[in-house]
Structure 1
Amino acid sequence: MASIPSGGAVLTEPLDHKQQNYTTALTSLAVLYFMNGFITCLNDTLVPFFKKGFTLTYSESSLVQFYFFLTYGIMSFPAGKIIERTGYKNGMMMGLLVSAFGAFLFVPASIFHQYYIFLAALFVLAIGVVLLQVASNPYITILGPAKTASSRLTLIQAVGSIGTTIAPIFGAYFILSRLQESTSSSDAVRYPYIGIGCLLVLIALVVAFLRLPNLKPGSSSVDTVSGTNTNLFSFRNLNFGTIGIFVYVGAEVSVGTFLTNYIADTLNIPVDQANTYVAFYWGSMLVGRLVGSWVLRSVKPSAVLTICATMATILILVSVNSAGSLAVWSMIAVGLCNSVMFAIIFSLSVQGVGKFTTQASGILSTAIAGGAIVSFSQGYVKDHATWLIAFMIPVVCYAYLVFYGVNGYESNINQNEL
């Protein structure tokens, strides 16, 4: 899933990387990212479970993703202000505990068997996730030499991809296997989320006792841009890139959200069996990130984005116009194309914005709310049309990303060679 990039961090105490071993801290952060990916992707399991359990339409069931990703649009800027006051380490702990509280809210929601209480619980859980992401990335970049910061962040994000891969398998076994009970009981989701809540509290306690670098939010080290009249919205690449993040996250979440039901309808198999296929969708993103980190060393990011977005468009069109295994695996393969898109769009969007980097990061983070709007829109279309028509929404999203990779990324101010 998409991760909120950090705006910037300043050390309050100097670090001697040669004398310090950050293995324990990085391992803990890797666990944190695993849980982040696991929690976010488990939503894909909740959508079909609630759809049957509460007799919902596709658009109504997509409110799971709507309220979860809407939080990014609401909380990204406030989360940054909170971190400024509390510091990064305390912000991480706060995010873990808020997420745990949201997970524990699944208990009353399941007892009363009310969909709106589940949505409220997911909203609270998502607030914690946003706080967690805003606070954690600076730690990863500072725990070691600056020249290897990107590789550390990429590696730990890959661990998050492991979480997104395991979540559908976990959801199929522990939640969707009890789908027939869902109309009268929500017990199938109660105990998994109690376990998640307890684990988050445990991780918060571990973080509390870790000796981590003392950081505070700071300004970016990137040089300021020229021109006294330049403002944040003067950058063409940032303006188009904000839309790019919106549609990318929207497309990624939409495909993942409805993939279980799409595969179940396409192969005519039970939902719990179909949900296991979703693991390949998210798992392919792990493979793509590992391969992509190598490819991006020698190939222009804009070219990689163009190719990936074009392939995603083609794969969806092939899928909805075919049947059987070809339709299923074509749609799953879209995950491989998604793997490096977010990082590329973000980096191209902030290219050359200089002193506005932190503000630009906040705007791009808010655009992650596209996961809410686009997925709900696709669900609404599916309620009134076929899968073929519904999947035209992510097709349009990927088509926009083709434009961004070809031309939209070009800056009109201090344009640099990419």
Structure 2
Amino acid sequence: MNHTEKAELIIEGDSSSRTKYLLPFILVVSLFFLWGMAHNLDSVLIPHLKKACNLNNAQSTLIDTSVFFAYFLMAIPAGMILKRWGYKASMITGLLTFAIGAFLFVPAANALSYNTFLLALFIIGCGLTILETSANPYAAVLGDPEKATFRLNLAATFNGLAAPVAALVGGFILSGKSHTQDELAAMTDIARNNYFLAEASTVKMPYIILGSVLVLVALLFYFMKLPEIKTKSTDGVEATGSFFGALKHKHLRWAVCAQFFYVGAQVCVTSFFIRAAQQGGGFDELTALKFLGMYGTLFLVGRFVGTFLLRYISSHKLLTIYAVISIILCLIAIFGQGSFVVYALGGLGFFMSIMFPTIFGLGIEGIGNDTKPGSSWLIMSIVGGAILPYSMGTLIDKYGDQIQIGYSIPLVCFLVILYFGLVGHKVNETK
């Protein structure tokens, strides 16, 4: 037998540390909430900075591109940080990087510089990559291996809690004011510039507060003693795995593909949610924001319900069921009219809620020594959130700003996830 076949997860320290998982798990759960805030605030930033910086739909999605392209570029360095310095140092590094990006929103708003906003979001994305590369596998292995997917969904529930909270914070960012291009053209240069500056300035205080909280949490992690988990073989040799070798696991390859399309679908749905509620549902900006809060609440409830259902339904079956329902809701969002469009998009929040942690858990199932590099691949696949929303924005612009047609992009994504739930998740080590 080789080391991979004999590998098992062990905790560094004395045997009593095995009973002290609760506090470390709670601390890790806080990270899920914090990066959930970052992603859900992007759904507010896209329509907001579209106004403040006078952008088209495709340009506005560069917000998503900046964050999620960072996942792609930072996945390997994040894995190297995790491998060299361990979980605790990785999580602290991620928190501080995240904080730097949040604080950069102040000079970006003062200068009304969209490029500086994008730089700040890219840095935030780098921090999130380091956090997710370390926190997801840490939550997965912090206890009974058979309950790894359950723990990931439980932790991710608090990621879902960030969705309605971010919608509340969005009320301090969105002004409810908007002008057509003709109205902007009729303004004096000073009046137009003052309007743009006023819109941009509303992001400063929320991101200053967020950055400060991140620094405080990093300090808490620094002073807390956390169990360091390493993968070792039964003969005492530390297992390091192989970055490219991890792809020998067929189900991991499919998980990477499914995660790419899932993240792309989720970001597409939320990025254009407010504008879809305005255009398809006929609601004003602030009412549309309330419906985004409804989406976030359903996402949170879906996490709790999904976590409960996973006790009785296998994860791949639940993923399959949710993918089918998501496909139906997407069709309603594309071809429906009025409030049905908004309700369908809100419903997607419920049924997408368990997809990321479930795909992640199925992807790293049974890969032993390759858990850390496998995690890096799954985090790298989040680049779908950088590519697919831009495609959606381009499609919307091509069809004369028709938001609903853009939801054909997430429709295709859910078809891929359906395949993963039916077939792709099956463990096969050699093919």
Query: What is the TM-score with the length of structure 1 in the denominator?
Result: 0.86
Equivalence for 2:126: 127
Gaps of 5+ in 2: 1-6, 179-193, 235-243
Task: Give the AA of the match of 2:86.
Answer: G
Question: Cα distance, 1:129 vs. partner?
Answer: 1.5
Equivalence for 2:168: 169
1:149-164 aligned within 5 A: 151-164=150-163
Equivalence for 2:222: 208
Task: Give the AA of the match of 2:196.
Answer: T
1:22-171 aligned within 5 A: 22-23=22-23, 25-137=24-136, 139-140=138-139, 151-171=150-170
Question: Cα distance, 1:71 vs. partner?
Answer: 1.1
Pick one of 331, 339, 346 that aligns with 1:325: 339
Q: SS at the partner of 1:267?
A: coil
Equivalence for 1:404: 420
Pick one of 189, 192, 205 that aligns with 2:206: 192
Q: SS at the partner of 1:364?
A: helix
Q: State how far apart, in whole Å, the 1-side matches of 2:252 and 2:98 are.
A: 31
Q: State how far apart, in whole Å, the 1-side matches of 2:413 and 2:145 are.
A: 35
Q: State how far apart, in whole Å, the 1-side matches of 2:329 and 2:208 are.
A: 38
Worse-superposed segment, 30-39 or 43-52: 30-39
Rate the CA distance shift 1:139–1:349 in 2: closer, same or farther, 3 A: closer
**Is contact 1:99-1:126 (8 Å) kept?**
yes
**Is contact 1:175-1:189 (8 Å) kept?**
yes
Question: Cα distance, 1:95 vs. partner?
Answer: 1.3
Rate the CA distance shift 1:201–1:182 in 2: closer, same or farther, 3 A: farther
Worse-superposed segment, 152-161 or 14-23: 14-23
Q: State how far apart, in whole Å, the 2-side matches of 1:141 and 1:303 are.
A: 20
Q: State how far apart, in whole Å, the 1-side matches of 2:317 and 2:398 are.
A: 37
Question: Cα distance, 1:376 vs. partner?
Answer: 0.9
Q: CA RMSD in A?
A: 2.7
Pick one of 250, 263, 285 that aligns with 1:249: 263
Task: Give the AA of the match of 2:417.
Answer: L
Rate the CA distance shift 1:90–1:406 in 2: closer, same or farther, 3 A: closer
1:221-300 aligned within 5 A: 232-300=246-314
Alignment pair present for 1:14 and 2:14: yes
Worse-superposed segment, 380-389 or 291-300: 291-300
Q: State how far apart, in whole Å, the 1-side matches of 2:18 and 2:38 are.
A: 35
Q: State how far apart, in whole Å, the 2-side matches of 1:59 and 1:92 are.
A: 33
Equivalence for 2:393: 379
Worse-superposed segment, 13-22 or 364-373: 13-22
Task: Give the AA of the match of 2:253.
Answer: N
Pick one of 277, 282, 302 that aligns with 2:316: 302
Deviations along 1:254-312, one digit per CA (max 9) or x if unpaired, are 10111011001123222222122112222222222222223223333333222211111
Task: Give the AA of the match of 1:80.
Answer: G
Task: Give the AA of the match of 1:90.
Answer: A
Q: SS at the partner of 1:184?
A: helix
Q: State how far apart, in whole Å, the 1-side matches of 2:144 and 2:16 are.
A: 9
Rate the CA distance shift 1:343–1:220 in 2: closer, same or farther, 3 A: farther
Query: What is the TM-score with the length of structure 2 in the denominator?
Result: 0.84
**Is contact 1:9-1:218 (8 Å) kept?**
yes
Worse-superposed segment, 65-74 or 299-308: 299-308
Worse-superposed segment, 94-103 or 268-277: 268-277
Matched residue count? 398
Deviations along 1:98-132, one digit per CA (max 9) or x if unpaired, are 11111111111111111000000011111111112
Task: Give the AA of the match of 1:307.
Answer: I
Q: SS at the partner of 2:313?
A: coil
